């Protein structure tokens, strides 16, 4: 874990090294001040030597100024190193997430990834800054102060040694009790973020069903869990302050009482006593700093592990050693394909699929809910890899292609349509970033999207809200189809992408495809028979198995499932999920 995170310090190594060096120099300056102060008292004030007072006083000013300078530089470079380290972690995680296959993304929740990119990185950033500054400053200050105290008077300095041992044991006990709460609290942030994200993304459903109170209770529970964890941890860590104050005041009383007797006995000077009292504060405050560093590191340890999980996750789908950079045509062949979500799943969702599709064909896919229609087409663009058999595109196994090349030639309009915040043109150019406005207009004409776009006051410059919330479901689907067409693919997959448009518009879209992109292989997943009955051939899927494959007339004669659904839809509006059909 540490090695994984440390690899992302990169260009901030110099700042990371400079910070503890400046902190050590600051400690040296601070340690020298009590010695100079003792000299002023013993050799200046008590001896009436003003020249010594001025000389040593000037030295104290210089030492204090240098200490301030080193402290400022330590803070500056510490901030630069920690914020740069956090930036690199966020960048590395985000870039790694972009490489994930769907199977990798399935391992992490959306809320969990957001928490890792935000809260967890902030925790590691704060801990790293504390490590660079305080982890070097606190122990070095403790050691220097103890050494100087023993040099001045070993007998009085032994009081500090006893105090350090007692206080150190108490702090370890306190921190060990608090760590289990700090280790658990950040996992609860996932639940909180999930609650907020789900509520905001589905706010229309929440309001439509008047479930605001339920959502409030759910958020209150998630928020309360975090509150309780922090309260339990803070209850324990609050013992630090009274324990520290008790130890400091006890040491001051002991040093003052014993020091006064030594001064009267002539074995200790007033200046030396002042120095010892100053070192008392240095020693005990260093312990307090170390306890705070320990708390911060403990809090960030869980965050560091969660970040490392994302950074260490390797995509299940990667390029071969010598990838193919050209797709010959839009032909597709499934050769004894088996597929399951997960390697240890006993029952595959696709079983022994054997299908050949010619380039330029229009293929329909129908089947009931859960029949693995989307799973089948996801294998074509290698969004998932098969568990057995092979998928061939353009006559070659999809695993032989460069991933970017393959996906550029296979446009997929997914079942869940997604638009991004920006203008209509911005969204269309996701299909081709260099597309001209004229090309965008032509793609929208094919997708029958031009008719509603031109009714907008700003036309193609109309701003789309996040998720496409200011356009209807049918408008969103048509924009996504136009976006896919701009890629000018060899294979176009429409995964139930016309379900929200009327049958007349659906027919016009299919007709435009047949005339304008005859060489493109078109695969249409649909629930309506009317959307696929004019396809060259139709695949009937039933529970992950190909039940039938042929044109409409052939399936009406040979496939009972297809025939029953056709009759139910044309006669009474039934669908694939109607009980008793095709069983």
pLDDT in tens, 443-491: 898 888 888 898 888 888 999 887 777 888 888 888 888 888 888 889 9
- Answer yes or no: are the C-beta atoms of 59 and 38 closer than 8 Å: no
- Mean per-residue pLDDT, 336-358: 85
CA distances from 121 to 77, 195, 264, 379 (A): 19, 21, 57, 35
Note the pLDDT of residue 365: 92
State both tokens at 559: 């496939």
What's the burial of 572, exposed, middle or buried (CB within 10 Å: 0-12/13-18/19+)? exposed
Higher pLDDT, 343 or 355: 355
Note the pLDDT of residue 240: 74
Note the pLDDT of residue 344: 67
Partners of 335 in beta bridges? 390
3-state secondary structure 236-288: HHCCHHHHHHHHHHHHHHHHHHHHHHHHHHCCCCHHHHHHHHHHHHHHHHHHH
pLDDT tens digits for range 48-106: 788 888 888 899 899 999 989 998 999 999 999 999 999 999 999 999 988 887 777 77
- What pTM value is reported for the model? 0.70
pLDDT tens digits for range 181-228: 766 776 677 677 777 877 777 787 888 888 888 888 888 888 888 888
CATH architecture of 2-312: Up-down Bundle (1.20)
Percentage of the chain surpassing pLDDT 90? Answer: 18
Note the pLDDT of residue 183: 63
Q: Mean pLDDT of all residues in the chain? A: 84
- Answer yes or no: are the C-beta atoms of 383 and 102 closer than 8 Å: yes
**Closest by Cα among 150, 574, 514, 258 to 363:** 514
- Mean per-residue pLDDT, 5-20: 90
Most confident of 10-24, 125-139, 241-255, 310-324: 10-24
3-state secondary structure of 358: coil
Binned at pLDDT 50, 70 and 90, residue 580 comes out as: very low
CATH no., domain 332-572: 3.40.50.300
- Answer yes or no: are the C-beta atoms of 494 and 413 closer than 8 Å: yes
Domain spans of the chain, in order of start: 2-312, 332-572
Q: For the chain, what is the radius of gyration of the CA atoms? A: 36
């Amino acid at each position: 874990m540490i090695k994984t995170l440390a690899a992302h310090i990169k260009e901030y190594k110099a700042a990371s090294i400079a910070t503890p060096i400046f902190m050590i120099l600051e400690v040296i300056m601070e340690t020298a001040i009590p010695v100079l102060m003792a000299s002023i008292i013993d050799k200046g004030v008590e001896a009436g030597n003003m020249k010594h007072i001025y000389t040593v006083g000037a030295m104290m000013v210089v030492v204090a100024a240098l200490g301030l300078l080193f402290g400022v530089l330590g803070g500056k470079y510490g901030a630069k190193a920690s914020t740069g380290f956090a930036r690199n972690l966020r960048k590395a995680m985000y870039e790694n997430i972009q490489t994930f296959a769907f199977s990798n993304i399935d391992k992490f929740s959306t809320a969990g990834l957001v928490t890792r990119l935000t809260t967890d990185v902030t925790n590691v950033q704060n801990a790293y800054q504390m490590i660079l500054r305080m982890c070097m400053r606190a122990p070095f200050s403790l050691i220097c102060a103890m050494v100087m105290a023993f040099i001045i008077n070993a007998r009085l300095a032994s009081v500090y040694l006893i105090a350090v041992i007692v206080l150190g044991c108490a702090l370890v006990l306190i921190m060990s009790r608090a760590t289990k709460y700090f280790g658990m609290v950040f996992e609860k942030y996932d639940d909180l973020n999930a609650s907020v994200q789900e509520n905001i993304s589905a706010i229309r459903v929440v309001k439509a069903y008047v479930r605001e109170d339920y959502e409030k209770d759910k958020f209150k529970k998630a928020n309360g869990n975090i509150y309780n964890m922090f309260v339990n941890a803070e209850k324990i860590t609050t013992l630090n302050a009274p324990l520290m104050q008790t130890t400091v005041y006890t040491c001051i009383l002991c040093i003052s009482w014993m020091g006064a007797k030594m001064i009267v006995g002539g074995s200790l000077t007033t200046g030396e006593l002042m120095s010892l009292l100053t070192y008392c504060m240095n020693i005990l405050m260093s312990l307090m700093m170390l306890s705070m560093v320990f708390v911060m590191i403990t809090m960030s340890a869980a965050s560091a592990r969660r970040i490392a999980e994302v950074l260490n996750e390797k995509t299940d789908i990667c390029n071969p050693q010598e990838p193919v950079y050209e797709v010959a045509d839009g032909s597709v062949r499934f050769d004894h394909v088996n597929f399951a979500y997960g390697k240890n799943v006993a029952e595959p969702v696709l079983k022994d699929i054997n299908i050949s599709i010619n380039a330029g064909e229009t293929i329909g896919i129908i089947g009931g809910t859960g029949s693995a229609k989307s799973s089948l087409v996801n294998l074509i663009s290698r969004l998932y890899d098969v568990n057995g058999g092979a998928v061939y595109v353009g006559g070659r196994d999809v695993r032989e292609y460069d991933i970017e090349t393959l996906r550029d030639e296979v446009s997929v309009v997914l079942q869940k349509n997604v638009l991004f915040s920006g203008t209509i043109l911005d969204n269309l150019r996701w299909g081709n970033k260099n597309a001209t406005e004229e090309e965008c207009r032509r793609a929208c004409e094919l997708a029958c999207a031009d008719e509603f776009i031109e009714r907008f006051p700003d036309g193609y410059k109309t701003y789309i809200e996040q998720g496409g919330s200011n356009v209807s479901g049918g408008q969103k689907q048509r924009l996504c189809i136009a976006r896919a067409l701009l890629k000018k693919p060899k294979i176009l997959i429409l995964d139930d992408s016309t379900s929200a448009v009327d049958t007349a518009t659906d027919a016009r879209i299919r007709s435009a495809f047949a005339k304008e992109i005859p060489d493109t292989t078109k695969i249409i997943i649909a629930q309506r028979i009317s959307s696929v009955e004019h396809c060259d051939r139709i695949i009937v899927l039933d529970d992950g198995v190909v039940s039938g494959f042929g044109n409409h007339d052939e399936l009406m004669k040979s496939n009972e499932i297809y025939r029953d659904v056709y009759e139910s839809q044309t006669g009474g509006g039934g669908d694939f999920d109607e009980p008793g059909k095709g069983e």
